Structure 1
Amino acid sequence: MYNLDMEKTLVFGGAFDPVHKEHVAMCKSAMCQLGISKLVLVPTVTPPHKSAGFLSFEQRCDLLKIAFEGVDFVIDDIENVRGKDNYSALTLPLLKEKYGDIVYLVGGDSLEYFDTWYHPEAIVKVCPIAVCQREGFDDIAMRAQYLKQKYGGEFILLDYVGKDVSSSEVRAKLLMGDEPDEIDEKVLCEIRKNGMFCEYKEMAEKLHSYQSDELFAHSKAVVLTAMRLNSRHNLKQDFTKVFLACFLHDNAKQRPSLDGFDVPPDAVGTPVLHQFLGAEKARRDFGITDESVLDAIRYHTTAKADMTMLEKLVYTADSVSFDRTYEPIPQIREIAMRDFDEGFKAVLKYTYDKVRASGKPMHPLTLDAVKCYLGDYCKN
């Protein structure tokens, strides 16, 4: 069992791209509850299971120093020095050798996919794992017990319940020109002072010029919803692709001029025209060349058979976006947050039923999607 009388060091790793308030709150709470006075922060270079970030290692370290001001901590650059795959199973033994007895801090969302980590059975042999609970993850205690039975080791369930915040959502807000409440004011000031997260400033301004305030707000909401779904369900979709496809999905909705583009004739004059035009105008006006991003825009309204995960994500996030409060969207959004595949199917059913009830013609692509994913549902 975990011995609170032994002097230990809390180890907390992450991309910290950027560091936000929940990172700090988790560490402070864990240190207080476990009686630990020493903290080691381990910024990743590029996590083996994630796409490249926006801030350099040095920039992230600078922000960590500001965010954790007043806490007794050190930043260990082990991953930057190693410069290769830095899975926890490989780095934790080295950190234990350097700092003595350690406790590894993880969030409840990480625990959800602990089975998929690199050699989880090796991780639990190195040190106890302290788990912060998190909003939206109600079975963390059961999950910890299951992992303990499967792998052995010690899982310590902490009292702190963290907010459902991910760095990807915070990063997206910054890239869209917002000032996230999730970031400490001093950290945010440093970000703005040094021009961090300005890669898409011109894109955001141009997109807003094409959209009403309401539609622009919707575009932002779709981005954040997709980031939440991507993180919640470990869909492993590239951050930049998700960001671009969601942010630009409605870029042509309020500018329906065909401009000579070749679009399906059956889409002209219908509510689905903007998805086809959106893909073409995203290429022309925003310089998007990635076909996976363009296809996610191209089919975000109708759906289609045999969709990629990125296409499913954009389609679902658009339909259940946080700004949609009318019935039954909140219920469908809840389903999607609980089970992505079921949420995707619930959106498809809702769309099919809504169009059928309206008496308007169903787009062939939607019928194809229903047949592909819902089987005989369209015969009901």
Structure 2
Amino acid sequence: MKLDWDKLREATKGQMPEKRWKHTLGVVETAISLANRFGGNAEKAELAALLHDYSKAWQTDRMERIIREEGLSEELLYFDKELWHAHVGAWAVEKEHGIDDPEVLDAIRYHTSGRVGMTLLDRIVCLADYIEPGRDFPGVNKIRKLAEHQLEEALTAGFDSTISLLLEKGKRILPLTVMARNDLIRLRKEQNKGG
């Protein structure tokens, strides 16, 4: 399927306020850079990054209805609403724009939570979302510095930051995020043995 990039950009921009669109453009730029740095597919990284927050600005009742009616992971409903848009967005871009590349859809679906066995594209999009130029949170510069040379270490630091924040706020933590973090640590140990 040939992509109409202009149409996709316009449709995505139309889903969100200007501030979120600026964030999206920052994630696109960062994802392409990370893909080039770490040997990923830059076109897929650009596509997944462009669409990663497609449904972020949707009303929560609309997202909840889609999660329930379309058979998405209902476990999400027991955790922070900030997680919902990733799964709903993957569903929406497939239905509305015919995006059918499972790797791109998974990168969108897991960009907030991570997962065990994250693909290179998953890791690139998730990290790009953490470190795009508009992001400003305690520790982001440390994560950006790590991302210059070590993708998995930088993403682990990103998950650590999220988990710490959720603990601080007394919020529930999606087990998948903890599992994703632990899996990245396993992967780093294996890489260090091999290298």
- 1:285-323 residue CA offsets vs partner (Å, 9 max, x unmatched): 222000000000110001111111100111111011111
The answer to whether structure 1 residue 236 and structure 2 residue 39 are counterparts is: yes
Q: Which has the higher helix share?
A: 2
1:279-358 equivalent positions in 2, closer than 5 A: 279-358=90-169
Taking only aligned residues, the RMSD between alpha carbons, in angstroms, comes to 1.7
1:1-380 equivalent positions in 2, closer than 5 A: 199-232=4-37, 235-255=38-58, 256=60, 257=62, 258-259=65-66, 260-268=69-77, 270-374=81-185
Runs of at least 5 residues in structure 1 that lack an aligned partner in the other structure: 1-197, 376-380
Read off the aligned partner of 2:105 and give its amino acid letter: L
Q: What SS class does the counterpart of residue 148 from structure 2 fall into?
A: helix
Q: What is the CA-CA distance between 1:327 and the residue it aligns to?
A: 2.5
Runs of at least 5 residues in structure 2 that lack an aligned partner in the other structure: 187-195
Q: What is the CA-CA distance between 1:218 and the residue it aligns to?
A: 0.7
Q: What SS class does the counterpart of residue 201 from structure 1 fall into?
A: helix
Q: What SS class does the counterpart of residue 271 from structure 1 fall into?
A: helix
Q: How many residues align?
A: 176
Q: What SS class does the counterpart of residue 28 from structure 2 fall into?
A: helix
Contact 2:36–2:42 (Cα < 8 Å) also in 1: no
Q: What SS class does the counterpart of residue 272 from structure 1 fall into?
A: helix
- Select the structure with the greater relative contact order (CA < 8 A; seq sep ≥ 6): 2
Contact 2:31–2:49 (Cα < 8 Å) also in 1: yes
TM-score (norm 1): 0.44
Q: What SS class does the counterpart of residue 121 from structure 2 fall into?
A: helix
Instruction: Measure, in 2, the Cα distance between the counterparts of 1:229 and 1:240.
Output: 12
* % same residue: 28
Instruction: Measure, in 2, the Cα distance between the counterparts of 1:358 and 1:203.
Output: 36
Instruction: Measure, in 2, the Cα distance between the counterparts of 1:210 and 1:229.
Output: 25
Q: Which has the higher strand share?
A: 1
Contact 1:261–1:277 (Cα < 8 Å) also in 2: no
